[in-house]
Amino acid sequence: MTTQEPLRVLVSRQARDKLAADIARVLDTRPHALLTPDDPRAIDADVAFVSRDITGLSTKHQVLPATQQVYDLLRAAPRLRWVHIHSAGADRPVYVELRQRGVQVTTSSGANAPVVAQTALLGLLALARQWPRLMVAQRERRWAPLIATGLPRDLQGQTAVIVGWGPVGQEIGRLLGALGLNVVVVRRQAGTSGPSGLRTIATAQLPEVLPDADWLVLACPLTQETRGLVDARLLSLLPAHAGLVNVARGEVVDEQALIAALQQHRLGGACLDVFATEPLAADSALWDLPNVIVTPHSAGFSDGNEARVAGMFLDNLARWTAGQPLQNVVPRSPA
């Protein structure tokens, strides 16, 4: 009779304290050990769960020491075979490196889709209803009814072009459709599997629809195809009244070209939750532009996300132990 070797799972202290019983239930009789980053045995982890508290306030471009400690462990762990991460995107360099060496990386795509979509809708509505202008007037204690400064355009009947049709893009499309907007879906390939009742085009066709777009909404992953997708040429195709909403990744947009278009009033406005470099530099022109809403990569934050992400990890853990395919696997080749 052989003794099964314990499954070594790297988790944060917070995740260990909250999920120990659930992990034990999923693993049933399989022996296991929950290892925290400060445990000397963590280097021998077989699988890892990168929860939100591990990332903390770190960004892709500015990694704080506590987060770096975990990233270093992941890179150095020779037995590591699978990592589940709290985010929907896996474009941080550490995850790219892990995939290149054959480690499976799974995401929590869909966990925060409703929240991100609500944030995108909020930004679009704020721009459409000229909320930035009204907020300035409020701070100045100035009565400035919109009838005196230019009436907002009716949203119903406007056209929103949504780039990306994953869980976030689909929820944005549903919400905008409910408000009476015409939705155009942009996918890698138009194909025949587009959403029913909506016009679906391939990414290569994006220039064809922009001249008639009132809104360009970015909800796509960062890939080789989408990096720098919205450049000066594409921005020039949008009508001067159009607005841009980006809840995808900052690198999808040529930020300097966007700033120029906004400053020169060749674009009506922008709501940006993501940026080419994060945190956004204090001297960026985006902070002070009157037709721009800046939020600190917070579109997906909600108090319910932790439980949803944990549920996805536990479901994949059950699949892992049963030898079944994992959900939300990121392709091995780098994005």
Question: Looking at the annotation, which residues are catalytic?
Answer: 249, 278, 297
Nearest CA-CA partner of 143 in 153, 133, 151: 133
Q: Residue 325: left if φ>0, alpha if ψ -120 to 50, beta else—which one?
A: beta
Q: Say if residue 40 is exposed, middle or buried (CB neighbours under 10 Å; 0-12, 13-18, 19+).
A: exposed
Name the β-bridge partners of 85.
Answer: 50
Q: Which two tokens stand for residue 323?
A: 């030898």
Please state the φ and ψ torsions of residue 7, each to the nearest 5 degrees.
-80, 125
Strand order in the sheet with 159-163: 199-202, 182-187, 159-163, 215-218, 243-246, 269-272, 292-294
Q: Are 187 and 130 within 8 A, CB to CB? A: no
Would you list the DSSP string of 246-295?
A: E-S-GGGB-HHHHHHHHHTTSS-EEEES--SSSSPPTT-GGGT-TTEEE-
Measure the N-to-C terminal CA separation of the chain; round to a whole number of Å: 45
The contacts of residue 7 (CB under 8 Å, 6+ apart) are 27, 30, 31, 32, 33, 46, 47, 321
Distance CA 236, CA 126 (A): 23
Q: How far apart are CA 280 and CA 267, in angstroms?
A: 21
Half-sphere exposure of 172 (CA within 13 A, CB side): 38
For residue 329, the 8-state DSSP code is B
